[in-house]
Structure 1
Amino acid sequence: MRRRTWIRGALATALAPAGIATAAGAAVASPGSRAVDLHGIDISNYQSGIDYALAAEQGQRFAIVKAGGCQLADGPYVSSSYAGHVDGSRAAGLRVGHYFLSGDFLTPTAAADFFVENLHDYRVGDVLALDVEVLDDSTRLWEDGEVSAWFNRVREHVGAYVPWFYISTGALRTRSWSHTVAAGAHLWAASWGPNDGTLHGPPELGGRYPDWSAHQYTSVGSVGGAERVDLNVARPSAFDVTEPTDPPDPGENP
C-alpha cells in the first residue's frame, strides 16, 4: 500500500499495498480467482472520494478500512477518513474491516490497546487486521512474537473475533510465524506480480504460513469512482471467527 496519505490533515509519505478493476472502472472476476471468492477493497485517506454504493454495484463485497497506525515518530494516530469509510461501506452493504499499521513507536500490546480504544462502530464479525510493514519513520519489521502479541491483546479486549495478518509475501518468506499462526490470524497476503490490474495467480508463501485467506493482488484498481484502489480476493472462510490454537509463550510475546 505505498501511498501518500493524509494523516490528521497533514500530508505524510506512507507505504502500503493495493487492488484492481478494469480500465473502465468495473471490477470483475479475474483469472485465477474462484467463483466462491469474494472481491473487496482496502481503503485509507487516499480514497477520499469513493462511492461505496457504486463499488458494491461493481462487485466489491468487503472494505477493509485503515483505522490508524504507530509508524510515525510523533505518535499513534487515528486516520481522519476512518469513521467516514466505515459508515459509508456499511451503509452500502459491504462487509467491514478495520486495520492498524505496525511501527516502532508503540509496543505491540500498547498498539493493540490504542487500536481497540479507537475502533469506530466495531461489530462482531468485522475484520480486525494488523498491517505489518516498514513505513515512514519506522525502521524494522515486527517479528512473529510481536505480531502474535498484538492479536492476543486484541482478543483480550474483544473476545473471539476475525483476525487478519497483512504482510507482503516477500517479507513473509524472510522468517517464521508459528506464534502468529497459533494466535489464529488469517493471512492477508500482498502479492502484486506485474501490478497491472490483473490477478495472475495465488500468492507464493514459501511454506511460511499454512495457507492464505485473502490476497491483495494489485494497486492500480479503479473502483467506486476512485483511482488506485487496493483490490483483493478473499475466501469465505477468511471471515470466520477464530480462536488461538496454543497458549501464547510469555517468553516470546513482548
Structure 2
Amino acid sequence: MRIGMRACAVAAMLAGLAACGSLAPPPPTQGAAVPMSPAPVAAPRFGDARPVLWRGPGPAAHPVHGIDISRYQTAIHWPTARDAGVSFAFIKATEGADRLDPAFARHWAEARAAGIPRGAYHFYYFCRSAEDQARWFITHVPKERGALAPVVDLEWNPHSPTCTWRPDPAHVRAEVLRFLDLLEAHYGQRPLIYTEPGFWQDNGLEQLRGEELWLRSVAAHPEEVYGRRGWTFWQYSGTGLVPGVQGQVDLNAFGGTIAQWRRWLAARSLR
C-alpha cells in the first residue's frame, strides 16, 4: 500500500496510537523525503455550527486538522485557512465515470499555492465499472509530485442524478478492491477509503483488512462506531466554521502527533 507495500505490511511498523483507536502513521521509507514542504502545523482555530460534547478523547486530542471540500465551498482564502490550522485538504474531483467537480481545478491549484498538502477524492458509483471510474479519475487528477494519496469515497447516495443502485456486499467489496488496485498502479500510492457508518455496516467493510481508512463519525469517537479498527483520518464534523472558508465545511483530524504527520506525508505523498 504505502510506497508499494500493502497496508497490512506497513501496519506492522506502526507505533503508539493503537490504544487510542487511531492508526499511527508508518515511518518513512529509508531515504525518502517529503516531496512538498508543507506549512508549519498551527493549532486549529475552528468553530462549529452544531458543536458536540465529546465523551472521552475528542478531536481536540489530535494536533493536526484539515478540511475536505467540493464545489459547495465556493470561496476559500487558503492562506487564512492555513494560518487558522488547516494542515491538509481533501478535494472532490470526480463521481462515477462522467461527473467532474467544477471547482476541483481551482481548489487544487489554490491549496498548493498556499503550501497546504492536498489530495483528491472520487465518489464511487456502482452503475459503472471500476475500470471506467479509474479511467475517469486518472483523466482529471494529475499525478503530481507532493500530492497526497488519492481517496475513494464510499457511501450510499439516494439522491444521485445518475445511479442509486445498491449491489450486494460481495460485489461492493470486489469492485472497490479493483478500483484501489487500478489507482495504485497509476499513482504509485494505494488510495485511502473514506466511508460512513451505514455503508460500513451494510457492506461488511471490516472484511477489507489492511486498507487505510478515513472514517466519518460526527457524534461519537470512531471507536464507538466502528470498533477498535485503526484509522488515519477522522471526519468529526460536517458543520465546521473555519476562518477563510465561506460557509460550513467538513472538519477532520489526523490520528497522530505532528512528528507522525510529517512521517506520514513522507510515506504517502506522490513521487
Same fold judged by TM-score > 0.5? yes
Contact 1:186 1:238 in 2 (8 A): no
Correspondence for 2:74: 48
Q: CA deviation at 1:81?
A: 0.3
Q: Deviations over 1:124-183 (max 9, x none)?
A: 451300001122132226721111111111012122x1521010023213333367434x
Relative to its length, the structure with more helix (as a share) is 2
Matched, 1:217 2:236: yes
Match of 1:94 among 106, 116, 122: 116
TM-score (norm 1): 0.71
Structure 1 residues 190 and 178 mapped into 2: Cα distance closer, same or farther (>3 Å)?
closer
SS at match of 1:172: helix
Q: Give the Cα separation in 1 of the matches to 2:264 and 2:206.
A: 19
Contact 1:132 1:165 in 2 (8 A): yes
Matched, 1:126 2:148: yes
Contact 1:214 1:238 in 2 (8 A): no
Matched, 1:201 2:221: yes
Correspondence for 2:203: 175
Structure 1 residues 128 and 227 mapped into 2: Cα distance closer, same or farther (>3 Å)?
same
Q: Deviations over 1:103-137 (max 9, x none)?
A: 13321122112111211463245130000112213
SS at match of 1:47: coil
Residues 23-102 of structure 1: pairs in structure 2 closer than 5 A: 32-33=58-59, 37-70=63-96, 76-102=98-124
Unaligned runs of 5+ in 1: 1-19, 25-30, 194-199, 243-254
Structure 1 residues 191 and 43 mapped into 2: Cα distance closer, same or farther (>3 Å)?
same
Match of 1:166 among 189, 194, 197: 194
Contact 2:93 2:121 in 1 (8 A): yes
Correspondence for 2:268: 241
Matched, 1:148 2:177: yes
Q: Give the Cα separation in 2 of the matches to 1:186 and 1:238.
A: 12
The percentage of counterpart residues that share the same residue type is 28
Q: CA deviation at 1:77?
A: 1.6
Q: Give the Cα separation in 1 of the matches to 2:63 and 2:134.
A: 29
Contact 1:67 1:78 in 2 (8 A): yes
Structure 1 residues 59 and 206 mapped into 2: Cα distance closer, same or farther (>3 Å)?
closer
Q: CA deviation at 1:219?
A: 0.9
Q: Deviations over 1:3-41 (max 9, x none)?
A: xxxxxxxxxxxxxxxxx93159xxxxxx62366541000
Kindly indicate whether structure 1 or structure 2 has the higher relative contact order, using CA contacts under 8 Å at least 6 residues apart. Answer: 2
Q: Give the Cα separation in 2 of the matches to 1:178 and 1:192.
A: 19
TM-score (norm 2): 0.67
Q: Over the residues paired in the alignment, what is the CA RMSD in angstroms?
A: 2.8
Q: CA deviation at 1:227?
A: 1.3
Matched, 1:106 2:133: no
SS at match of 1:181: coil
Q: Deviations over 1:195-214 (max 9, x none)?
A: xxxxx53453544x831111
Q: Give the Cα separation in 1 of the matches to 2:143 and 2:110.
A: 12
Q: Give the Cα separation in 2 of the matches to 1:143 and 1:133.
A: 11
SS at match of 2:86: coil
Structure 1 residues 37 and 140 mapped into 2: Cα distance closer, same or farther (>3 Å)?
farther
Structure 1 residues 23 and 124 mapped into 2: Cα distance closer, same or farther (>3 Å)?
closer
